[in-house]
Structure formats: C-alpha cells, structure tokens
Structure 1
Amino acid sequence: MAAATEGSIDVRDHGMSLDKKKGRVQCNYCGKVVSGFFRLKCHLGGIRGDVIPCENAPQKVREQFRDSLLERKTEGFCKEVGEPYHLNLPQKRHCCPNLNSVEHNKHEIAQNGSTYFAMHVDIDSSTEDTLMDTAPCPNGSIGSQAAINCESRKYSSSSEAQKCIARFFYETGVDLSAANSPSFKRMINATLGHGQTEYNIPSCQELKGWMLNDEIKEMQRYVKNIRHSWASTGCSVLLDGWIDEKGRHLVNFLVDCPQGAVYLRSSDVTSFISDVDILQSLLDGIIEEIGVDNVVQVVACSTKGWVGDVGKQFVDRCKRVVWTVSASHCIELMLEKIGMIESIKRILNEAKTIIKFIYGHETVLSLLKKHTLGCDLIKPSTRLAMPFMTLENIVSEKQHLKDMFASSEWKTSFWASRIEGKRVADLVGDQSFWNGIGNALKATTPLVRVLFLIKQADKPQVGYIYETMDQVKETIKEEFKKKKPHYMPFWQVIDEIWDTHLHSPIHAAGYYLNPSLFYSSDFFGDAEVAFGLLSSIVRLVQDQRSQDMISRQLEEYRHARGSFEEGSALDQRTNMPPALWWSRYGRQYPELQRFAIRILSQNCDGASRYALKRSLAEKLVTTGRNPIEQKRLNDLAFVHYNLQLQQFQSGTKLDIVAEEIDPMDDWIVDQAPETVFQNGLFSWINFDTYGEGPSNIRAKKEPW
C-alpha cells in the first residue's frame, strides 16, 4: 500500500487501476472500487455524492484531496464566468488567489460546509473541471464561502422542512405511506411562496429509515434528561388500561414527574387477566426498571377489573410505593353516582328529552339557533361530566327557550301540534323542571369544575387535593343553605368514593406539608392527617435514622423555626409552588426537605389527562410480525407517544375529547370543551352563575 507523504496529492499513489478500459479503480485504504480516478479523489476527500467517502483514509490524505478539489473548482469557475455581477448574488468575499487564498477558504469550508458536501454534491464522473455549482462574486472571482453559506442555508431550510414533515407523521400516527401520495406532495408544495422551488419531501422509506433513527436519538436524549430528575423529585407510574375491539385487555405504562411524562411501554395482559400474581410481577418489573427509590406512587386508571384486583393486593405486597387512583376518575365516579339519585336522574332524562327533540329535527334546531343567536345547548365534555355541563347551558338559555316555544313560528309549525312537541314545550314552561335543574347543578357544578381543573393543571396537585375535596363539600353545603336533608345525599356519595378509592396517605401528607395551607389560620390537622403523614414516612423512607430525623425536623416546620420562619410569611408560601418552597427554605433540614419535595412533586391525576391515542399501542401488541417490522413499530410507538407527551409538557396540551359516539346518544359529542380555566393550577375563579343554578364556587382557604 502506498504511503501518503506530506506533499503528495497524486491520486494514483492511493489507488490501483483494475481495468483501464472500463476505468475501474480500487481504493488502497478500504478496497472500494470506483469508476475513475476522479471519483477516487472524491472518495478519498470525503466528498459525498455518487460515491461514498472513505472511512479508512488518513486525515491528512482526506484534507489534501478535499483542498485539491476545491482549488480546481475555484480556478475553473473563474475562467468560465469572467466577471459576473448581479445585485442579488453574494458579494461577501473575493476568492481568486490574488484576493483570498484557497488555503483560507478550505479551512472555513471544512468547518462550515461539511453538511453541504455530505448531502448535496452531485459529481459528474466524466468531468474533472466541474465539481459543483456555486454563486459567483464580482471582479471575475467566485464567492466560495458565501456560496457555500447560501447553499448551506438552502440545505438547512430543506432539512428543517423535512424534519417537520417527519415529526408530523410520527406525532400524529399517520400512515407513513401517505408521504408518497401525490396529493400530500402537492399540499406541502402549495404552501411555498412564489418563486420558491419544491420541498424535498421525505419518502416513506426515509421516514422508516434514517429519519426515524435520528428522531429516536433525539427523543432518547429528551427522555434521559427527564430520567435524571427522578432521583430528586421522585416520579409516579401511570396505568392507562382499556379493552380494545378484539376484547384484549391492554395497558400503557407512563412515568410522570415535574419535568414531564414519558412513555415506557405497552402490554397485552389478556392471557393472565385472572392471575393477580403475574400482574403484580409485571408491575413490580416496571417499578424495578424505573428504580424503587424513585417511584413514589402508582396511579391507577380504574377501580375495577384487573387494575382493581392488583390494587387490593398492592399495599401488602409493595411496602415502598403508594397505590392511588386517578383523581379525575374518582370524581367522574362521584358524578355517575349522583346522576343515579332519583331526583337527579329524573331531571337528566327530562333535559335529554328536550335535547333529542330539538337536535333531532332540522326545522326546530334552526328555530333554536335563531333565538339563541347560534348558541348550542349541548356542552361538549367528557362522558360523565357532559350531562351536567349541558344542564348549565340549558339554564343559561332558559329565556331564549321560553321565547322560542312562545313564538309565532313555533305555534304555526308542524311540530307544535305533535305529542312530542307539546311535551317539550310543556317541560320548558314548567317551573318545577327549572327548579330541579338548579338543585342538580348545586350538587354537581363544584365537582365538574374541579374535574376540569385537575385535567388541565400544569402543576403538581398532591398538596392540594385533600383540601379541595373538603372545599367541594363545603360549597355544596352552602348552595343548599346548610339544610342537611338536602346536601347529605351528595355528601354521602362523595365520602363513599373518597374513603374507598380516592383518599391516599400521601394526600394527607401533601396537605400537611403544603406551606400555603399549613401556615394558614384555618389549617385543620386531625387524626386522619396525622396518620397519613406517618404512614407516608414509614412507606417512602426506608432508613430508620432518616425517619427519626424527619420526625424531629417536623417540629421545626410545625413551629416555623429556623429557615421555616422566613418561609412562613404569607407572600413566600403563597407565591411559589410547594415543592419549590421546600427547595428554598428546607435546606437546613435535608431529610425532611427530600421527603416533602418527593411528595409535593407528584400529580394526583392519571394517564387520561394526556389523552394518548391507543391505536398504535393496539398494533404494537399484535403478534405475527417479523422481528424487523416489530422493532420498527416499537421505535415508532416510542417516538409517537413521547412526542405527544413532550408537546403536552411544552404547553401544547391536547383537548379533552369525548368519545366518538352519536351526539344524541347519552349526551356525547366528539368535540373539545369550550370552557378553559386559566389563572394557573386550581385557582378558584368566579365562575359564571347560570340562571337559577348554583352560585359561584368560592375558596374558603388559600386557592389552588
């Protein structure tokens, strides 16, 4: 093999001619066969185009051939174009030898133009005088660096566009083969401005290949950064279980923390649905993978089925992690049970009769739109909250409904003389119907508001849920003028779900450790709170010495001594999240500080708040694919779900969407809710009063 000397740039010293007639040449370093010595120069110089760069060539050899090619291109172009000049052409630098040395240019090109050469140089093997097109500059010179910068910007723009297109496919889960659709290509290129060339739209194979690999690497870095935070803030395992159309019991495992949620994996648990021991082992493996010391709680998506069965045994089998049930799921259970109370059920059925009649007949609906100025009665929401939110809308349009059924258009219409039309008109004119709606809303509006505040919260909630559920009960009591026979049936429903499913020791501990509540004048630390705090310490802190230190440090916190004294001031404890407060004012008490931060950094809601689509997971757990296709599907699921979670974390939150069921069937419509509560996490705001419905929800203590 010929050695590369310091000044040698003779390509024949670095390759061997195999066939002079066909011009076949073999590289001395890697053995690759190329057509001609010019291609060998490009191969050795690392110029990607029709030939792959040599990975084995010494660095000095690569630099020599790259410099040689650039110098030849510069001289050849200057001779060809003479002195081209145009206002729109780059004029940053003269690059003829008398003005700018090739030696200077080659250094900048090596640093700034590598991407350009790697992707965009198309070499003509029959011509050594033309390497690539670059923009000229005045005085018979070629502005090589400016040209390369220009081309690099073009490439960067094209590359960014390709990345955005690829990310669209990965995030939405659209079939990758759609990238080959002529309509899709026309749609993308139709967005270009006048005079621009077409985008280099990635193909289906590129989306499945190197572009997916690049996205995986980027997502792995994102997930890795989140995983690093688990040791300090702790994390929650979220279970997202469902039964698909094939009757399979499936579950997604997510990990949630203040830095963001990440998707872990999907599993089909159908084959061992009745074996709690295997299900528990599966969950134990997830916790071990995350790190037992990192996991604070498991948040279940349901209280029934295999999830409920595992939950019943979890406390006894796993001594270091807390089992909780999603707060939004529990509140939906409360609404469901309240809806089964006879007086509430009757009102819901009567309201449903009105809705189905109006929306079931085009002429009646047009008349409604005329009187309500286009407003709808149906209030899109989640399945169990939607009936009560629709009641709010009906009350808000009460006068318009009465005017509609009293109008001449109605009285002269076909439906005014029909039995069902008369029944609906009578309902709208019946005061007892409106009184019944008012009572239903008094009992449910506080729960509905908290449900949506939880789902749309952007801050950890464990430190607030205990107090908030107490506020819900007190608000209902006030709405019914403190008349016990009126509010107690609803209290009993709330208490039953709270005691059986929702209440957790870490909720009580979060209430105690939340400085905005603990240092308020009406903090109430009863035996339930004390027991929850103690249980959390025993379960989440394994070291006996640390447990003892936490117990002693709690006395300092309780009496607001040391650094806690400054933090107990009203503005300090109310103007920052509880976990941040502890990181700032708990440094003198590291054991208690770590314990408090880990609890107050958790959410009390489950995976439903992220509204992840399940179709890709259903494909993922379907067997019968070859290993290569299965791996690609695993990669797509990893990118797909984590991109959605990343968007949620960045503030691009998915709307809470009801299931795709007929709008007239059980109040369900496939739209996002219109009501969006702002003002931060669980900020009790003055909600609109709907006619004879409940008055505004008020906080009796510090707001969420």
Structure 2
Amino acid sequence: MFDVVAKANPRIKGMTAYEVMNVYLLKEKTNLKMYIDELKVMWKSYGVTIMCDGWTGSTRKSINFMVYCDGRTIFLKSIDASMETNDAKYIYKLLKGVVEEVGIQNVVLIVTDNESNYKKVGIKMMNNPRFQLFLTPYAAHCIDLMLKDMGKLKIMQNVVERARQVSTFAYNHGFSLNLLREKCGSDLVRPGLTRFATNYIVLQSFESKKIGLRSMFTSNEWFDWRELGSTSGREAQATISSEEFWTQLGKVVKILAPIVSLLKLVDSAFKPTLPSLWAAITMMKENVYPVNPCGNRK
C-alpha cells in the first residue's frame, strides 16, 4: 500500500505504526460495529442462516460461524476446537450456543458440512420444539464427496495413476520438462492428493495437450535422450502412445465435466444458486448418463 502511495507522490508521508494501531484501526472497528448493528436490526424481519465451517491445520482445529441475511454475510466468531472431541454432543453444544446468541426467533436455517455428526445434530435440533429451524449440508461439500466416490472407480484410478506417472517423470528431469514445455506450449496441471475436483482439472489438461504430448514422445530429441530406456521413461511413453489410455481419459473427462460445472455453480459467490440448483442437478444427470461406463442410469 505504501509503495502505491509513494508512486503517486513521493512527498506524501505514510501512516505511522501508532496511527495505524491507535487511530485508524479504532475508527475501522467503530465503523464495522455500526455496519453489523444495522444488519442485526434486519434479522428479525428477514431471518438468518447460520453457516458453520470447520478448518483443520497442522497444529490447530477451529470451527468458524458466519451469519447470512438479505444477501450479506458477516463473520460471527471462531471456536478453537483443537483440544475437543468433534462428536455430535460437542457440535450440538456449539450450535445451540450460537443460535441462542443470534436469537432463537431469528434463525431459520443452519448450513454445515455433510458429516454424520452434523446430521445427528441436525435431527436433534429439528426435533427440539424450542428451535424452529432447518439444518442442511453444504451443496458444494456434497458434490465434492460425489467426486471423491467417483475417484474410487477402477477406470478413474487407472487413468489418474497413469497420468500422475507421466507428469512425475516429466517434471523429475530438466530435459523432459523443457521438451514438454516446448511441444505443449505450457505446463501440465499436476495431480494433487487433497481436493477431489483436481482429478478433472488434471485430466482435462492432459486432453488439451494430447497433440503436444504425443509430439514430445515421438520427437528426435526424445529418442536421442539417455532416459528413454529407463523404466519410468518406457512407462510414460507407453501411456502416451496408448489409444486405450486416451479413450478412457476422454470418457472420464466427459463424466466429470458436468459434475465439476455443477460444483462451480454452487460454489459461486456472485448470486444465490439455490433457485437453479434442482434444474442444474437434473441437467448434470442427463449429461453423465450417456457416458456412464457402467452402461446404466444408476
């Protein structure tokens, strides 16, 4: 920020650390409190949705709570759950406290992860006559779990593993990496081990660079390279030369594309997606059925 100010006019002096901490930060805190207080007045008229999102780091586990009302979301608080057992009893205690803090009469919906503990809490809260609310899982989390389950299919595992082997081999050697960039024009998206939608992005990257990859593994530079005869080199070349691999990869991309498009829709921050969700799910099913490797509509 100060670099931008200096470029505009070198004579302009930046704020001191004291001014940031004791003047402007306090002003910002006051303005933010006024904004939140204005929103709280609307809670009784419109009702609110409480969103619960867990986050796990290497040494810390926290549960964050946000409140949504009339198109605007505010951060409510974060709970350090590092020393707690994340069971239904503990989650119920947290959600009960948050609902009471926001106002039992104001809460219409609670949105959580799709884990079994949260499902138990949802049933318990909805059966409690004291709470007039509903509990539903994140649509994006549900679709992410769909991708996780699909990743367990044999055809998916086979294609992703072979693509990972090619990518690992190419990026482990400077010569093959430079040759890949020369023939494909850019890098491959490398397979990850965490997010399930990554499989689609990786395979789509392979499919878009099919011509470049085949050109790489049939070029004179490749056949003159000493690593051509290595086990990894032969496996990578066999994969890229295999028609079966490309056929399976194309089929997997066609299966995953509608599901990932649906995930992008529900994960959008630009507009509410619930009104169009049912139609989007129906379209996703109809696009997946024709290329279902099982040959049926299950």
Give the direction of change, closer, same or farther, for the CA distance of 1:323–1:424 in structure 2 (3 Å limit): same
Match of 1:253 in 2: 65
Q: Which amino acid aligns with 1:472?
A: M
Matched, 1:266 2:266: no
Query: Within 2, Cα distance between the matches of 1:295 and 1:410?
Result: 64
Match of 1:476 in 2: 288
| Unpaired stretches in structure 1, ≥5 consecutive residues | 1-164, 166-184, 492-704
1:349 to 151, 161, 181: 161
Give the direction of change, closer, same or farther, for the CA distance of 1:237–1:419 in structure 2 (3 Å limit): same
Q: How far 1:272 moved relative to its partner? A: 4.8
Query: Within 2, Cα distance between the matches of 1:392 and 1:474?
Result: 21
Please, what TM-score do these two structures have when normalized by structure 1? 0.40
Say whether the 8 Å CA contact 2:189–2:201 is kept in structure 1.
no
Say whether the 8 Å CA contact 1:301–1:307 is kept in structure 2.
yes
Q: Which amino acid aligns with 1:201?
A: M
Query: Within 2, Cα distance between the matches of 1:446 and 1:342?
Result: 20
Structural mapping, 1:357-368, within 5 Å: 357-368=169-180
How large is the Cα RMSD of the aligned pairs?
2.6
Aligned length: 297
Say whether the 8 Å CA contact 2:258–2:288 is kept in structure 1.
yes
Match of 1:402 in 2: 214
CA-to-aligned-CA distance 1:436-460 (integer Å, 9 cap, x gap): 1122122211111111222224111
Query: Within 2, Cα distance between the matches of 1:449 and 1:312?
Result: 31
Say whether the 8 Å CA contact 1:443–1:487 is kept in structure 2.
no
Query: Within 2, Cα distance between the matches of 1:309 and 1:359?
Result: 46
Give the direction of change, closer, same or farther, for the CA distance of 1:262–1:425 in structure 2 (3 Å limit): same
Say whether the 8 Å CA contact 1:300–1:324 is kept in structure 2.
yes
Determine helix, strand or coil for the equivalent of 1:317. coil
Q: Which amino acid aligns with 2:42?
A: S
Q: How far 1:277 moved relative to its partner? A: 4.0
Query: Within 1, Cα distance between the matches of 2:77 and 2:291?
Result: 46
Q: How far 1:202 moved relative to its partner? A: 2.3
Q: How far 1:278 moved relative to its partner? A: 4.9
Q: How far 1:310 moved relative to its partner? A: 2.7
Matched, 1:376 2:195: no
CA-to-aligned-CA distance 1:50-90 (integer Å, 9 cap, x gap): xxxxxxxxxxxxxxxxxxxxxxxxxxxxxxxxxxxxxxxxx
Q: Which amino acid aligns with 1:426?
A: A
Match of 2:279 in 1: 467
Q: How far 1:336 moved relative to its partner? A: 0.6
Give the direction of change, closer, same or farther, for the CA distance of 1:400–1:333 in structure 2 (3 Å limit): same
Q: Which amino acid aligns with 1:346?
A: N
Say whether the 8 Å CA contact 1:239–1:253 is kept in structure 2.
yes
Query: Within 1, Cα distance between the matches of 2:57 and 2:123?
Result: 24
The structure with the larger Rg is 1
Match of 1:230 in 2: 43
| More strand as a share of residues | 2
Please, what TM-score do these two structures have when normalized by structure 2? 0.89
Q: Which amino acid aligns with 1:313?
A: K
Match of 2:240 in 1: 428
Q: How far 1:478 moved relative to its partner? A: 3.2
Match of 1:191 in 2: 7
Determine helix, strand or coil for the equivalent of 2:275. helix
Query: Within 2, Cα distance between the matches of 1:309 and 1:268?
Result: 22
Query: Within 1, Cα distance between the matches of 2:158 and 2:115?
Result: 27
Q: Which amino acid aligns with 1:220?
A: K
Match of 2:126 in 1: 315
Q: How far 1:220 moved relative to its partner? A: 1.4
Query: Within 2, Cα distance between the matches of 1:232 and 1:343?
Result: 52
Q: Percent identity?
A: 25
Residues 307-316 or 250-259, more deviating? 307-316
CA-to-aligned-CA distance 1:675-704 (integer Å, 9 cap, x gap): xxxxxxxxxxxxxxxxxxxxxxxxxxxxxx
2:23 to 188, 207, 210: 210
Q: How far 1:339 moved relative to its partner? A: 0.5
Determine helix, strand or coil for the equivalent of 1:256. strand
Match of 1:220 in 2: 33
Q: How far 1:487 moved relative to its partner? A: 4.6
Q: How far 1:380 moved relative to its partner? A: 8.8
Query: Within 1, Cα distance between the matches of 2:41 and 2:271?
Result: 19
Structural mapping, 1:505-516, within 5 Å: none
Q: How far 1:238 moved relative to its partner? A: 0.8
Query: Within 2, Cα distance between the matches of 1:446 and 1:372?
Result: 26
Match of 1:664 in 2: none
Determine helix, strand or coil for the equivalent of 1:486. coil
Give the direction of change, closer, same or farther, for the CA distance of 1:479–1:225 in structure 2 (3 Å limit): farther
Q: Which amino acid aligns with 1:265?
A: K
Q: How far 1:479 moved relative to its partner? A: 3.7
Give the direction of change, closer, same or farther, for the CA distance of 1:260–1:380 in structure 2 (3 Å limit): farther
Give the direction of change, closer, same or farther, for the CA distance of 1:274–1:382 in structure 2 (3 Å limit): closer
Query: Within 1, Cα distance between the matches of 2:286 and 2:247?
Result: 21
Say whether the 8 Å CA contact 1:272–1:279 is kept in structure 2.
no
Query: Within 2, Cα distance between the matches of 1:324 and 1:437?
Result: 35
Q: Which amino acid aligns with 2:16?
A: P
Q: Which amino acid aligns with 1:414?
A: R
CA-to-aligned-CA distance 1:81-102 (integer Å, 9 cap, x gap): xxxxxxxxxxxxxxxxxxxxxx
Matched, 1:280 2:92: yes
Q: Which amino acid aligns with 1:366?
A: N
Matched, 1:445 2:257: yes
Match of 1:486 in 2: 295
Query: Within 1, Cα distance between the matches of 2:87 and 2:191?
Result: 41
Say whether the 8 Å CA contact 2:49–2:68 is kept in structure 1.
yes
Q: How far 1:209 moved relative to its partner? A: 1.9
| More helix as a share of residues | 2
Query: Within 1, Cα distance between the matches of 2:97 and 2:237?
Result: 60
Give the direction of change, closer, same or farther, for the CA distance of 1:200–1:423 in structure 2 (3 Å limit): closer
Query: Within 1, Cα distance between the matches of 2:195 and 2:80?
Result: 26
Say whether the 8 Å CA contact 2:266–2:277 is kept in structure 1.
no
CA-to-aligned-CA distance 1:33-64 (integer Å, 9 cap, x gap): xxxxxxxxxxxxxxxxxxxxxxxxxxxxxxxx
Give the direction of change, closer, same or farther, for the CA distance of 1:371–1:244 in structure 2 (3 Å limit): closer
Q: How far 1:317 moved relative to its partner? A: 3.1
Q: Which amino acid aligns with 1:486?
A: G
CA-to-aligned-CA distance 1:616-646 (integer Å, 9 cap, x gap): xxxxxxxxxxxxxxxxxxxxxxxxxxxxxxx
Say whether the 8 Å CA contact 2:167–2:190 is kept in structure 1.
yes
Q: How far 1:253 moved relative to its partner? A: 0.6
Give the direction of change, closer, same or farther, for the CA distance of 1:423–1:463 in structure 2 (3 Å limit): same
Structural mapping, 1:108-187, within 5 Å: 187=3
Structural mapping, 1:476-555, within 5 Å: 476-480=288-292, 485-488=294-297, 491=298
Q: Which amino acid aligns with 1:413?
A: W
| Unpaired stretches in structure 2, ≥5 consecutive residues | none
Matched, 1:289 2:98: no
Matched, 1:240 2:77: no
Query: Within 2, Cα distance between the matches of 1:337 and 1:321?
Result: 30
